Each structure stands twice: as structure tokens, then as C-alpha cells.
Structure 1
Amino acid sequence: MGFHTFQTPYDWGRLDECKTIASQVEGGMIDLSVGSPVDPVPESVRQALAGAADAPNAHGYPATIGTPALRTAIADWFLNCRGIDLRPINAGLVPTVGSKEAVAMMASLLHLGEGDLVVQPRISYPTYEIGTQLAGAGVLKVDDVSDVESWKNTPGVRAIWVNSPCNPSGEVLSAAQLTSIVAAARQIGAVVLSDECYALMSWCADASPSALGVNVCAGSAEGILVLYSLSKQSNMAGYRTAFIAGDKGIIDEMSVYRKQIGQIISGPVQAAMVAALRDTTAVFEQRKRYQQRLAKLVKALGAYGYEVKMPAGALYIWVRALSGGCWQDIEDLARRGILVSPGEFYGAPDFLRISSTATDEAIDEAVARLLSH
């Protein structure tokens, strides 16, 4: 058996030619493509990592399900930052080696395969589809996952990917939309996979709701798994720190498999996660940086000619290509020394994704280049 084959246009090597063009511009390339954090890891996190470098959980084998301190910190984070008490809804939790690993392994850990279908938004993070393909299951793409009539009567649907705030579009689903998705999934015995990695990066008036919100889930985590990452909120992409929370029965079973294949967070990094989850001051400072950068880019891209507005959430600006196709626009922007992502990676070849994960200095330079057209 093993992993099944997969096909995807998601290959950053396809940008190499445009990288070369952008790098030759005076002042060098400004990379607004991948979305890799550039700001410092919070001091509290660095101290926690160093302090745990020779702790028992470093030279001994760490627990797959996380230390008691980490499990408490995750539960407290849900309560304090999302208003969700995991205990009364019978939710379990497990840390993961980054959120991408959790996404890519999800269909396999749910034992999905031939004849099973996983629903996902047509425009979405490409690893949803890759993970489903690796498991040997089928992908059902729909324009709007909250339009439950587009999938709930399709035979074989076993799981539904939800991403709010969305990468790449920035869309934020309402509590009513999430409630409808959860109810429909339960009717057909499917699992809701809610990727909420940008949950604290919401730019609209209301906070981004969670699939585990008590009103959304009707007081039970049954059939719901929520994913969250510390990569963006605490600039910890290189630490590979994330977690899954939700249906305790599913998570307990997944944890057994994760232990056997060694998908375990290192001991010192678990200590760093605790610090990151508790340092809300650093998180909201970072949030403010991203909001300011996005606002600057939105204004400059509008002046350049794009039809653009502030996203409802997440860290990206999603715009229709001026030329009608993403690759021509990417080349045109590269000639100004600015590198952006092709919408083709996310299912929309006539769009661009522009990231705010660059330094303030780089953002200001990108703005200057866009305004000098």
C-alpha cells in the first residue's frame, strides 16, 4: 500500500525564473510570495526553549500527546483566546509537527481511501488535496463549502475541509455558516476538518468563529477536528508547532498512530509552545504588524491598478490578475523587483496571492515601487 501518488501545480520552483528577474532589480527582490514569517520569535519563547534544552523531556523521549503543561496551555488558550472550554464538549487534543503535517496526514489517519470523498473549497490551500490523494481517497471541490447542498447528498463524503480565515482569499465564515456545515456533516456521518490557523488574524469587526464554539457545535466536539498553528501568531514556523483539538475518540485513536510513526514534538519545543500560547502580548503585537502591512499593501496595489480591498482575515491579499492570467502579472511585478504567488497554486489561475510576511522596510519599499509605476 504505502502513500498513493499525487498531482499538484503547487511547486515553488516554478517561480525561479521570476526570482532571477526580481533579484536583478536595483535594491534586490522583495519576496511577498511564500508567506514565511520574518519577524523575531518572542523573547519568552526563546527563553523557554533554552531553559528546557537539558530538561528530562529533552534527553528522554517526550510524550506524543504533550506534557501536562502543554496540554493545559492549549486548553487555556482555547478558553482565553477563543472563548471555548474544551472539557464540557468532550474535546481531546494532540500537538502536531507543524500544521502542514497534520493537514497532509489527516485523510490517512482517518482511514480514508478508495471510494471515500473529502470535500474542500475549490480555492484553497493545496495540501488539502495532496493529503487526500496520498490516502487514495477522492477530492470533491465545491465553490462554497457552506453551501451544504453542494455536497451533503453526494455518496461517499467522509470529511469536509473548512478554512476560516482562508488562505488565500481571506474569507471568514460566520458562526451560522459553520453551524450549518457541522449539522450537515453529522447527518451523513462525516468529519468536519476546520483549519483555523489564522484564527487570531481577523480584520473584520467580529472575531473569527470556531467550529468548536459552543453554539456552532451544539455543545459537543463529536465529528469536529480543529487545527491551529503557532507559525504565524508567534513567528515559529521553523519550530514546527501546531495542534489538533476536537472529537476525543478520533484524537485518541490518531494519537496511537502518531506515536508509532514518531510524529512527536520535541521536549524543548513543547516548552517553547507553552510560552508562546501564554504570551498573548507578543501575539497581539505581531497581529498589529500584519494589519498595518496589509493596509499599506492594499492602498499601493489599488493605486497600481488592482481591484483590491482589505481581507477579512489571514495574512494575504487576493486579487484578480490585471493581465487575465497570474503568470504574466507575476513577471510584470518581478520586473519591479516584487515576487508574488500564482493563484494557480490555490485553484485560481487568474488570481494572485500577495503576502504581508515581510519586514516593515521591505513592505515600504514594495509600496514605493508600486506607486512609482
Structure 2
Amino acid sequence: MNYENLFAERIGGNQYGKSTAIYKFEKIKRAKQKARQLHPELEILDFGVGEPDQLSPEIVRETMKQSVDQMNNRGYADNGTELFSDAAALYMKTFFDIDVNASTQINHCLGIKSALSMLPLAFVNEGDLVFQTVPGYPVMATHTRYLGGDVIDIPLLEENGFLPDLSSIDPEVAKKCKLFYINYPNNPTGAVATDAFYDELIAFAKEYNILIVQDAPYATLVYEGPYRSILQRPGGMECALELHSMSKAYNMTGWRLGFFCGAEWAVDALAYIKDNCDSGQFKAIQEAAAAVISDVSVAESISLHYETRLKKMVKALQAVGFEASMPGGTFYLYVKAPVGAGESTFDSAEDAALHLIETQGISTVPWDNTGAYLRFGAVFESAGDEDDDRVLQILEERLQHADLRFE
């Protein structure tokens, strides 16, 4: 069978699976495996992961135990349960003081990744243009390209507070854009958007007839200022779609549940696509999430866990020469990568990351889109607060031993 000719061109056609290119996450994975083989006695300090290190809240787990035995939870959820939609609306009111219609302006999804992959199906035709901030989460951009759309990278630069510089976008290009993807609080930079930026972006979107796609899984993980939503701002509900998740804020990564809300016309279009792509998340999971989603005390407790770790990480990294400071949100530190170590010189952040894992057993995520940076995640495994201190002491000692250079 000549199966090679069956592969779609969007994944490489008959060359699918033959590429010798190795992407950065695979390189890091292989480097960790190599480090374990060469130094089996060495504890790998993994700051590269991007998912919570704790169990879901007790109320979530206990509600789930009860819900799985309920007959009415056995069937399809389709586009979501009324219980979860109402709970999501209460979440938007509790954290952001926004009144959202649970029937027409909210729809659940099987995690944000799923929703982002479907969005282009609702809005992108061949040749259409989408704006994607970089560095960033590429799922919507990838699926835009699958459909024959074009993606323009909008850089997030440190000198602009890791916010897009809208004045740098060619008006003739903006006229062709349909979707503008942003993500605040931002992964990997930790930046938070300001009200002034949201107002500017909303005006930009209205001028050029663009749907703003605000990816907000870290919305409650903020360490300065109030909780923010683009839907709070004047006009935001007319031209923005905001995506929220149970994964980061409530330690429910593997449960795969989130929701999208905002402009009614955009919610309706994405819900139409979703209805033809999946049959909804298990109703018991929606019940479990509804039990916790608007509980401010739980969200604050989880946020405090990361804030405490991040402050300790900042001190450890500053002690060895990194320009580290507290992020506005998320559970990441985004720092300029060293330019070398000892006699070695690094040409990229990826070089620095590979050196750290191979020689020191320290795993990070490199970013080279808009300068050389490393991302340290405050989601490393430990046995508690005292063990956090032990891990971070080892981190500082190993980085001191690495003899890093920053100039």
C-alpha cells in the first residue's frame, strides 16, 4: 500500500515523518534522558514543566466522587450543562464584575487548546490573515495554517512591557486580518495587560474589523493589581472572545475543562463548530468544576503557593547574576539567558538550556523568538515548603558552580 501519498500536504504530504529536524522540547527531553544516564545519582531539577504540581482542590475531588454515581451524568453533555454555564457566569461576575449571559455568551470546551484549534474553522478561509503574539502558544496559528491561512507574528518585546506595539502594524496588513491572538497574563513572559492596552486593542479591532482572541488560563494567578478581563473594558464584549480554563487556576490540568465567553456572535459561531467536533465534557467533571470555580479563597490559596515560590526563585536567580524580578502573573519567571559558561559561549537560549540540563541537571524552557530568554516554572515537584527551600538552595548552588556569563 502506498500510504505515503495519503498524508495531507498540511502535515508534509509524502514527506510526513521523514524530517530530521528536532524541535526544542524534544531536544530538552533527550538532554534530560542523557543527564539521567550519565549521572544517575543527580537529582534533576525540572523548572521546564508548565502544569500544576498539586492535586485538584478537595471539593473538586469529593464532588467528582459523588457525581460519577449519578444516572443523569451518564449521557452526552454536547455544548455544556446549564450548571457549569451558570457557574462560569458567576466566576466572571465574582472575579471581574462582568455580567455575562450564561445561555448566549458562554460555552464550555474541553480545555482551551481544543477551543483554539477549532476557532479558525469558524473564521478563517484560505488566504485569510491572523495575528499571533510571539513568544506564545501556537495552537490557533497552527490550525490557521492547516486551513491555508497566513499568520503574522507580532513580537512581544521587553522594552514595551511584553505588550504588542500596535503602532508598528502596517494598516494595509491590518485590513486583511480576521483574528488577533493575545494571552494575558502571558506565558512565557509573565506580563499582565493594562486597561490602557486593552482599550487601545479594542479600538484597533473595531477600526479593522478584527476578533480579539484573549487566551486567559492564568487570569486568577496575578501578583499585582486587580483581576483583569478584556471584557471589562468598553466595547470589549462586542469584539473579543476570552477563553478561561480550570487547568492552571484550580490544578485541573488533566480534567480538560474550560469555557469561552464574550461577543455573542463569536460564541455562537465557535459553539456551532464545536458541536460538530465533540460531544462535550463528562457531566460529572462539569459538576466538580462548578463546585469550585467561583471560590475566591481557593483561587487565592493556589495563587499564594506560586507567589511564595516565585519570590524565592527570584532571590536564587538574582544571586547568580540573572536579571530576575517578580512577574505580574502566571507561574513563570522569564529571564535573559546567559551568553556563556566558563570557556563555553552560547549562540542562543536553546544552547544555554541544553548546557544547563547536560552539565547541572537543571531543566528550563528556552525562547529565541524575540531575544534569548529562559523560562523557569514555579511548578517543580517537592514535598512541601521546607523541600521548596532545599530544591532552590540546590538550584542556586548548581548555578554558582556553572560559572555563567551574562555579558
Which TM-score applies when normalising by structure 1?
Answer: 0.90
Query: Is the alpha carbon distance of 1:9 and 1:178 closer, same or farther for their aligned partners in structure 2, counting shifts above 3 Å?
Result: farther
**Cα separation, 1, equivalents of 2:307 and 2:206:** 36
Aligned partner of 1:332 in structure 2 is 355
Distance 2:325 2:152 in 1: 29
CA deviation string 1:59-98 (max 9, x = no partner): 222231x21111110000000111111149x961111111
Counterpart for residue 79 of structure 1: 93
Flag the 1:280–1:56 CA change in 2: closer, same or farther, 3 A. Answer: farther
Task: Tell me the SS of whatever aligns to 1:81.
Answer: helix
- 3-state SS, counterpart of residue 314 of structure 2: helix
Counterparts of residues 30-45 of structure 1 (less than 5 Å)? 30-45=45-60
2:155 corresponds to 1:140: no
Q: 1:29 matched to which residue of 2?
A: 44
2:107 to 94, 118, 130: 94
2:289 is aligned with 1:267: no
Aligned to 2:223: 203
C-alpha distance in 2, partners of 1:41/1:210? 24
Counterpart of 1:209 in 2: which secondary structure?
Answer: coil
Q: Aligned Cα RMSD in Å? A: 2.5
SS at match of 1:113: coil
| CA displacement at 1:303 relative to structure 2 | 1.1
Aligned equivalent of 1:278: 294
Match for residue 308 of structure 2 among 260, 277, 292: 292
Identity rate, percent? 26
Go from structure 1 to structure 2 and tell me whether the alpha carbon gap of 1:25 and 1:300 turns closer, same or farther (over 3 Å shift).
farther
Equivalent position of 1:13 in the other structure: 26
| Residue aligned with 1:140, SS | strand
Deviations 1:309-352 (A, max 9, x none): 111111111111102522232133222222111214xx246211
Conservation of the 8 A alpha-carbon contact between 2:181 and 2:213: yes
- Partner in structure 1 of residue 395 of structure 2: 370
What are the residue-to-residue correspondences of 1:187-198 with 2, within 5 Å? 187-198=207-218
Q: Distance in 2 between matches of 1:53 and 1:152?
A: 53
- Is this contact kept in 1: 2:127–2:150, CA < 8 A? yes
Q: Spell out, residue by residue over 1:127-153, the C-alpha distance to the aligned partner (whole angstroms, 9 max, x if none).
A: 243232223211111225643233361
Report the Cα offset of residue 363 of structure 1. 4.0
Question: Aligned letter for 1:115?
Answer: G
Larger deviation, residues 74-83 vs 274-283: 274-283
Structure-2 separation of matches of 1:157 and 1:44: 43
Partner of 1:70: 84
Answering whether residue 274 of structure 2 is matched by residue 258 of structure 1, we say yes
Number of the residue aligned with 2:127: 115
The offset of 1:360, in angstroms, is 4.5
**Pair 1:10–1:314, CA change in 2 (3 A):** farther
Q: In structure 2, what is the Cα distance between the partners aligned to 1:59 and 1:42?
A: 24
Q: How far apart are 1:279 and its partner, in Å? A: 3.2
Paired residue secondary structure (2:280)? coil
* Aligned position for 1:178: 198
Quick one: structure 1 residues 363 and 299, their matched pair in 2 at CA, closer, same or farther if it must change by over 3 Å? Answer: same
Residue 134 of structure 1 aligns with an amino acid whose one-letter code is Y
Where does structure 1 lack aligned partners over 5 or more consecutive residues?
none
- Whether 1:352 aligns to 2:374 is yes
Contact kept in structure 1, 2:100 and 2:106, CA below 8 Å: no
Counterpart in 2 of 1:127?
139
Aligned length: 364
Rate the CA distance shift 1:85–1:149 in 2: closer, same or farther, 3 A.
Answer: same
Q: Give TM-score scaled by structure 2 length.
A: 0.83
Residue number in structure 2 paired with 1:169: 189
How far residue 27 of structure 1 moved from its aligned partner, in angstroms, is 4.6
Higher normalized contact order (CA 8 Å, seq sep 6+, divided by chain length):
1
Take 2:245 and 2:63, find their aligned partners in 1: how far apart are those partners? 18
Quote the Cα distance in structure 2 between the aligned partners of 1:11 and 1:50.
39
Where does the alignment leave 5 or more consecutive residues of structure 2 unmatched?
A: 1-6, 13-18, 157-162, 340-345, 401-407
Equivalent-residue separation in structure 1 for 2:330 and 2:22 (angstroms): 22
Contact 1:159 1:190 in 2 (8 A): yes
Larger Rg: 2
The equivalent of 1:160 in structure 2 is: 180
Distance in 2, matches of 1:285 and 1:2, equals 47
C-alpha contact 1:29 1:337 (8 A) present in aligned 2: yes
Do the aligned partners of 1:91 and 1:221 also contact (CA within 8 Å) in 2?
no
**How far apart in 1 are the matches of 2:73 and 2:24?**
35
